[in-house]
Amino acid sequence: MTRSQAFHHELQQARIQRRGGDAFAELNHLERAHILGQPSFLQHGYSHWLMLLWAWRQHDWAEAGAQLLRLPGSVGSLLGLYPLGNPGTRRVGPLTPQPLPEDLARLLQ
């Protein structure tokens, strides 16, 4: 599986969780999609857009605000500047790299 295929797989899993009513599992898959999407400007920005929509549905205004600030930061992908492993949500600073989950690490090498 390629990085891009894995990105789309995580988005599909997020949709399944949303339909099942598990908002936190949905967000987990969106975070994983964000990690995979960071090298691509479009995928990176799209992952933040989907997290913004998630925050809106959850009435999580702090997360929504964080996503509004992070959406423009997706431009960093065009320059190859992004914190590897960062899940893209407010629980981790926007410039803070994080350890990669093992299954994602091999797709990002």
pLDDT of residue 6: 97
pLDDT at 35 over 90: yes
pLDDT at 109 over 90: no
Q: Which residues of 72-92 are buried (b: 16+ CB within 10 A; e: fewer)?
A: ebbebbeeeebbebbbbbbee
pLDDT of residue 14: 98
Q: Whole-prediction pTM value?
A: 0.94
> What's the pLDDT tens digit per position in 43-101?
999 999 999 999 999 999 999 999 999 999 899 899 888 999 999 999 999 899 999 99
Mean pLDDT of 101-107: 93
The boundaries of the domain holding residue 82 are: 3-105
How many domains does the chain contain in total? 1
C-beta separation of 47 from 88 below 8 A? yes
